[in-house]
């Protein structure tokens, strides 16, 4: 990684030089195509045993922004994880993604298990459907007890700094240490094309 000064993770994105890194995705909600990060269905879902004895599954997905609603993000990618684990409100990232890509009715008719949800998304994401995808910049700081605390970013245009460079670290409000940040998928929303 090219650095401008002695601070790690601070880069200048020279768009005139094709060998340098591209400008990162700005935080926001944009139209994007969704697909699995792993092509092989037998390897894409990771099982996790829950305390109640049930098994839930998670998989990594990739969004490639189309640029139809914002030319600045065209072709840029962001990743995230979806899970079949249902929260206290009766939702999961897998359920939200199914609704966002227009498979909600099919889900109601066909899905009764976590495995059914995996099969439905395996089928639906094969076509790389389009939906609105929200991304955020986050950093996870390891705590003394071994758990992680997600840190909030404080810069308005993160990771762009006032001097035109990029700093991919977030300063912890707890320890004052710089923690590496990453851009991840935060939410999925249905997209309805204008007629």
For CA atoms 159, 165, 169, 175, the dihedral sign is negative
Tokens 């076509």 locate to 127
Residue-range domain boundaries for the chain = 10-14+25-189
Closest CA to 139 of 97, 160, 165, 167: 167
pLDDT tens-digit profile of 53-111? 999 999 999 999 999 998 988 999 999 999 999 998 989 999 999 999 999 999 999 99
First to last CA, the chain: 45
In the predicted model, is pLDDT for residue 122 greater than 90?
yes
151 forms bridges with which residues in the sheet? 139
pLDDT of residue 72: 86
Q: The pTM is what?
A: 0.79
Structure tokens at 139: 């950093």
60 forms bridges with which residues in the sheet? 81
pLDDT tens-digit profile of 136-177? 888 888 888 988 888 876 667 777 777 888 888 888 888 888
More confident residue, 16 or 153: 153
């Amino acid at each position: 990684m090219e650095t401008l000064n002695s601070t790690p993770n601070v880069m200048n994105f020279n768009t005139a030089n094709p060998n340098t890194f591209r400008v990162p995705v700005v935080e926001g909600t944009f139209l994007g195509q969704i697909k699995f990060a792993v092509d092989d269905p037998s390897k894409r879902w990771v099982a996790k045993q829950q305390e109640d004895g049930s098994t839930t599954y998670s998989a990594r997905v990739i969004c490639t922004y189309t640029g139809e609603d914002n030319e600045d993000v065209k072709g840029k990618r962001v990743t995230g994880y979806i899970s079949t684990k249902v929260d206290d409100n009766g939702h999961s990232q897998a359920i939200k993604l199914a609704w966002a890509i227009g498979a909600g009715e099919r889900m109601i008719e066909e899905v009764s298990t976590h495995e059914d949800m995996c099969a439905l998304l395996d089928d639906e994401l094969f076509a790389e459907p389009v939906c609105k995808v929200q991304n955020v910049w986050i950093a996870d700081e390891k705590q003394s007890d071994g758990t992680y605390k997600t840190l909030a970013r404080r810069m308005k245009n993160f990771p762009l700094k006032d001097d035109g460079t990029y700093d991919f670290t977030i300063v912890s409000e707890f320890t004052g240490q710089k923690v590496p940040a990453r851009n991840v998928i935060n939410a999925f929303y249905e997209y309805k094309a204008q007629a």
